[in-house]
A and B are shown apart, each in its own frame.
Chain A
């Protein structure tokens, strides 16, 4: 079989979505380019997306992204190092209408520090579900979110997978930061891409980790 004609692809990046369950990570992954927002009941009635491959154009270059969802494993705390391995960008999601999910970000940062293969990995905190503001159920202010992100030295954005606000921006901003940090990816890209990615990304395949 001939090689994939992807010469115009400048680099391939692995992005992860982490955070408590119910914060809307799966919707963010669907919403990246999708026009239909699914009601939570609909989401749970479907087989979720494990990961997506997406080609994005940034400053006239093409980048291939693989964006991974935690597959609900966060409920059982069984995310393993294979999920984190090789990731250049991590999006930490909390729900602005649930203070607990915001406070748990500390645990997610600990896990990230434990398993991440590089200290330079680009992190972004996403305060999701800002569409709930109108119903008065916000529990974490934008200011608090921003202050925490500053303290952790990460990017920050508020988003709504429901109204599409900020979702694409969040992904693109992370990718831009990765591009600006060549030490994070240039070494890896020079190796045989096929081999290394297969091992990295296919590891979490398959059934229950219980």
Chain B
């Protein structure tokens, strides 16, 4: 059994590397053991933004209850920044979402103006 640090059990200081504003821990799927991003791969982006939890992605997304407002996002330069990720087709309103590449759980993030944004509270972290 692999143990993870949950967003709710941590503080921003524990997750964000102070010197360069990047993720100080590896980032994992909230449901399975799939690694999404390696440490220091993405930067913290504190733009407040609404983020719907009810996107019908293929994987089951009812196992975890997330808040509608994400505290902050991790911003990735492009898809190759990720170790593993699934990128959805466009929804009717032209939005695209990110999911786990292994179990298809999602959304764990979205694409906004070609920026890849991972919701900080919808993923788990290495201890």
Asked if B84 contacts A34 (CB within 8 A), the reply is no
- 1/0 per position for A166-210, CB-CB distance to B under 8 A? 000000000000000000000000000110011001100111000
Closest to B56 in A: A46
Partner of B96, one of A36, A50, A194: A50
- Residue A100 at the chain B interface, CB threshold 8 Å: no
Q: How far is the CA of A104 from the CA of B104 in the complex (A)?
A: 30
What count of chain A residues pass the 8 Å CB interface test? Answer: 37
**Which residues of the other chain, B, contact A197 by a CB distance below 8 angstroms?**
78-80
Asked if A194 contacts B78 (CB within 8 A), the reply is yes
- Residue B121 at the chain A interface, CB threshold 8 Å: no
- 1/0 per position for A12-41, CB-CB distance to B under 8 A? 100000000000000000100111101000
CB distance from A39 to the nearest CB of B (A): 11
Q: How far is the CA of A194 from the CA of B101 in the complex (A)?
A: 21
Main secondary structure of the interface of B (DSSP, over half): loop
- Residue B24 at the chain A interface, CB threshold 8 Å: no
Asked if B77 contacts A194 (CB within 8 A), the reply is yes
Interface positions of B from 11 to 28, Cβ below 8 Å from A: 20, 22
- Residue A54 at the chain B interface, CB threshold 8 Å: yes
CB distance from A79 to the nearest CB of B (A): 14
Q: How far is the CA of A205 from the CA of B104 in the complex (A)?
A: 20
CB distance from A6 to the nearest CB of B (A): 8
Q: How far is the CA of A48 from the CA of B56 in the complex (A)?
A: 9
Asked, given contacts A36-B59, A47-B97, A53-B85, whether A202 binds B78 with beta carbons under 8 Å apart, the answer is: yes
**Which residues of the other chain, A, contact B94 by a CB distance below 8 angstroms?**
206-207
Asked if A30 contacts B104 (CB within 8 A), the reply is yes
**Which residues of the other chain, B, contact A33 by a CB distance below 8 angstroms?**
34, 101-102
Asked, given contacts A5-B41, A206-B90, whether A49 binds B79 with beta carbons under 8 Å apart, the answer is: no
A-B contact pairs, 5 of them (CB 8 A): A1-B22, A50-B88, A193-B80, A206-B94, A207-B94
Task: Enumerate chain B interface residues (CB-CB to A < 8 A).
Answer: 20, 22, 34, 38-41, 43, 55-60, 77-91, 94, 96-97, 99, 101-104, 114
Task: Enumerate chain A interface residues (CB-CB to B < 8 A).
Answer: 1-2, 4-6, 12, 30, 33-36, 38, 42-43, 45-55, 64, 66, 71, 193-194, 197-198, 201-202, 205-207
